Structures are given as structure tokens and as C-alpha cells.
Structure 1
């Protein structure tokens, strides 16, 4: 099958393109948000094909996966076909509602020809999708292999755009942690902004080490050297970096919001809304590396079973076949 989709979420797309379908990715001269083309920091197979925007009207596709509201109109303009009418379509929703919890209306809520595919059951529960058909395909992640050493007796966290997104991704919690004595490394995009913000807040005891926008393979090498992974997001969908950390064999500490409690079993770490409890567990693992290693092995076993690629790709095969039949 030939599937049209935009390069929006590189990590998620990296998992999707491991399947058997040919994927058409729009590209333009600027490689902007609507024409980014193939990933440059992830390894995608050759069946992911860039197609210039002006050639999409002459490109045969069997289905389109929409991920942002305006892509419905882009598809009409660039292919000459109407999603959900003369072109089978699915709408992939990556995120939790951006407005009030439980009452935010989904952009696709007023139609019934394009199913909305959520990546977590929590997201499906919270979005008001109106009369749109909905389903859930939980994440699948490419297995990076067991790499845990835990040689650095500290915590690692991955947060993208921590200043712009603020409390949503738990930036304030990272700043609180930075006042303490525990080593903390933060990875992601926008780390320079975070360093500036910490200075503005007068954190003279700022001790976190920041790693800005590393290539994926570098981050996967560095993360498992830390004793444990810390997930501080308050109101985001389930972060793929959390799943990757589990696959790497890292024990996990997570703020108990959204889908975290369903993703992390008790023997793999601690999920709690009590920050002090999370820090006590961190201290325990820092003092007892064998306990941390045991929890990390449990995390990997669970992640392989729940977030393995075979299940994920099979779920998407069934969805695509249903949409085009």
C-alpha cells in the first residue's frame, strides 16, 4: 500500500515506516513544517519516498494519514483528492487536548468519514471527538537493545522546548530538582533556553547538565549510562523517550499523570504524584545500583511486550486495510 503522510513526529514515524508499506512524504524547497521530507536524524528505509509538493497530484496513493487539522486542506490542494471521500483517510492524534481537560472538542469531531486514531487510551478518553469514529493504536518503538550500565549515579530526563512548554512538560519540577544534590542530566531541544531561564530564576545552585538536540543515536548511547530515567511531564501524551528508556533497560521514575501509570509496572520503577517519593526512590537506586539494575530489566521486559514493533505494525496494517477496503 502507498500511504501519504507528512513528516510531523520523527520518532513515531520511525516506528511506522518499519512496516511493509511505501510512504510518500511531501517535500518543498524550504523543508519547512509542511514539506520537511525525509528525516535527517533518524534512519528510515528506502521505501520512504520524498515527493515534491508540485508532483503530488500525479502521484498515486492509496490512503492518507492526517496529523494536523490543516493537512486536510493541503491534501485537497496538492493531490486534488478529498480525504474521507475519494481518498481513504485516517487522522492520527498524537496529543492530549490542548484546552480544558475532557471538554476540548477535537478538530475532526464534526465529521464521520475519517476515523481518529489515538496513541493512548487516556487521550481517547479525554478528547471530545463528537461523532467521529475513534480507535487506539498504542505506541510501538524500535528496540535499541539492552544498553544499561547505570555507571553515572544520577538521573536523566528528556524534555523538548522546556521553556516554551513550561509546566506542561514539568520544567518547574526540573528546576526544583536542580536545587538538590542529585546529579541531573537533561536532554532535548531548547536546552540553551532552559539554562537562561534557570539563571533568570536565580538558581545559583543550578547543577543540571544540559545536552541540546543530540542526534538520536547519541542520546540512546548516553541515556543508559545514568542510574535512572526521570519523566516529569504533566500533560502530554505518553513520551516515546520514556518507552525508549525502558527498552534500554533503565529503571523509571514518572510523575503520575496521563498514561504513565499504565505504561510503567510497579517492578520497573515508581509512578507517583508525590515528588518527594520519587526522589526517595532515586536516592535508593543511587545507593543500591543492583536494585536499579533489577528494576531496569523489568522495565525492558514490559516495554518489549507492550510496545514492541510487531504488535504496533500489525495494528496499523489492520487499520489501513479497513480504511481502504
Structure 2
């Protein structure tokens, strides 16, 4: 399809890096104060050169085809601040990354009942649970853009959890479970705020997965979230996953095949110990995990799905 000129705010760096694999002209607004969504490409970005940052006060001068919102602020405030009246009439998508908050079933989406916006969810669970009103919706499942040569090693007999600000996020991110399980098991965590709770600290995205690949398994203690990108990243490099069986995960991880899922922390403890004691089995499950990622979460499928949605939204022929 013809390359489109697309405006998007920099909200979720890992997701944006994957989305930018769709070869269009991407424009990221930037402000000197680097407030939410206005960091441009960001520091050390691995995004392609066709992803360009533009001073926010110059966005009105761009010849755009499509606007992508990702936060309430983008939708309720930013568009009125940086877009011209004509640009606000352009085709538009609201990309919703998260599961509904504050209530899992009764949270009404900010773009509900907006017939001029397509609301794209990243999991079927999310679309099911959000109150979308009459706004048209679609689901595009995750993918990740990481070094395709990276492979699981698993030589370090420890589990690792990739999560930002786990302590601040509390029970939702499973901080209480982490504190309990690591009394018996060699577990660590990596991400913003992890050093203060005994973890590794923050590692730049371009270096993160090589480090993660050394650990025996990736675990996730998220009680309530979208399908975490860290899990997709682990599957992609061929790493077994141990996680809570909540939200979309029961449709992804099969027990004893790609790793283990359970809502029982005692069972999770047993599964983690099994992988620590059985590196051969961990590698077998990791190989299955990689096959799953190639079949369900490939970057090629992800780009194809997004290009199809772009074509539909801007009223152009849908690519095969």
C-alpha cells in the first residue's frame, strides 16, 4: 500500500518500535519539557529512520493521513492543542494498550460512542471487558521488534521478571507474591525501580533481551494487565514462561508445553522449582515457546494486520 503520513505520540516505546516496522512516514511530536508523549524518538532509539520527530508547534504544518491516539490526554487534550481543525477531521485510531480501569467490566472507554474513531485493542480480553459503546472496534495481537538472532540460553538457574515500578504498582503487579516467592526461590526482577527491591535495575531495551536470555525462565506475577510484552519477548527468543493464569494468558501458555500458568501461587512455586531442577525440560518448553511466537506473534503478521486496518480506516484498497 502507499506510504501514509501518520502522527502518533511516543507512549509505549517497545510497542512503538514494533509498530514502526510498518513502513510508513511516522511523525512523533516533541517538546522541550519531554512531557507525556512528547519525547520524540527517545534516547538510543532503534526505530527506523522513517520515524521522525517534529516540534509539537509544527505539527499543524504536516500533510497527514492518519492520527493515532493512545491515552486519554492524547484524545481529550493533545489533539486540540497541536492539531489544526482540518487535521482533527482526519481518519483516526485509538490504540488501547491496557485492560479496563478502574473496574474490569464497567469502565467506559474515553472514545466510546465516537463513530469517527476505530478503537483498536491489543487482546480479545480487553475488547470484551471495556465498555466501548458504539465505537467500532478491532483487535490486533502483539508482536515485538527485537534482535531476531537472540536465543534463549537458560544457563543461569534463576527466574527473572521484566516489569517497571513493581513496588509502586503493588498487588496489581504482584509485588506481594514476589516478596513471598523469593524467600524460597532464586528470583530477580529488571526494570525501572527494580534495584530498590533487590533486582537488577533498568537496562536499555536494545540490551535487555540478551541479559534476560541467560535466565532459566521468565515469570510474570501480573494479576491484571494486558498481555505483557515481556512475555511475548520471552516466547520469541525461545524462553519458557511461568505466569498467573489471568486475562489473556490462558489462551497463550499451555501447561507443560510453553511453560506453566496457574492462579495458585503454591503451584507456581512448584513449577518454578521444576524448571530450576530440569534445564533440559526448560529448553524443550522454550523451543515450543519460540514456535508459538513464530506462529501467533510474528512481526510479519503484526505489520500485515496493521496495514489492513490502516487501509480500511483511510478508505484505501485493503492489501492482500
RMSD: 1.4
Number of positions where the alignment pairs a residue of Structure 1 with one of Structure 2: 309
For 1:78, the equivalent position in structure 2 comes to 82
Please give the alpha-carbon distance, in whole angstroms, between the structure 1 residues aligned to 2:181 and 2:202: 21
Cα drift, residue 299 of structure 1: 0.4
1:38 maps to which of 41, 47, 55 = 41
Unaligned stretches of 5+ residues in structure 1: 196-208
Q: Does 2:293 match 1:318?
A: no
Instruction: Tell me if structure 2 keeps the 8 A contact 1:265–1:299.
Output: no
For 1:214, the equivalent position in structure 2 comes to 203
Instruction: Tell me if structure 2 keeps the 8 A contact 1:152–1:225.
Output: yes
Cα drift, residue 218 of structure 1: 2.4
- Could you say what secondary structure the match of 2:288 adopts? helix
Deviations 1:248-280 (A, max 9, x none): 111110101111111223311111111111221
For 2:282, the equivalent position in structure 1 comes to 292
Q: How does 1:1-325 map to 2 (within 5 A)?
A: 1-72=4-75, 73-81=77-85, 86-144=89-147, 145-180=149-184, 182-193=185-196, 195=197, 209-266=198-255, 267-325=257-315
Please give the alpha-carbon distance, in whole angstroms, between the structure 2 residues aligned to 1:140 and 1:192: 28
Instruction: Tell me if structure 2 keeps the 8 A contact 1:142–1:308.
Output: no
- Could you say what secondary structure the match of 1:316 adopts? helix
Deviations 1:110-163 (A, max 9, x none): 322101100000000110011111110001112433421111111111121112
Instruction: Tell me if structure 1 keeps the 8 A contact 2:150–2:210.
Output: no
Please give the alpha-carbon distance, in whole angstroms, between the structure 2 residues aligned to 1:68 and 1:174: 29
Please report the TM-score for the alignment, with normalisation by the length of structure 2: 0.93
Instruction: Tell me if structure 2 keeps the 8 A contact 1:265–1:302.
Output: no
For 1:204, the equivalent position in structure 2 comes to none
- Could you say what secondary structure the match of 2:6 adopts? strand
- Could you say what secondary structure the match of 1:277 adopts? helix
- Could you say what secondary structure the match of 1:304 adopts? helix
Cα drift, residue 41 of structure 1: 4.1
Unaligned stretches of 5+ residues in structure 2: 316-320
- Could you say what secondary structure the match of 1:217 adopts? helix
Distance 1:32 1:99, change over 3 A: same
Please give the alpha-carbon distance, in whole angstroms, between the structure 1 residues aligned to 2:156 and 2:54: 45
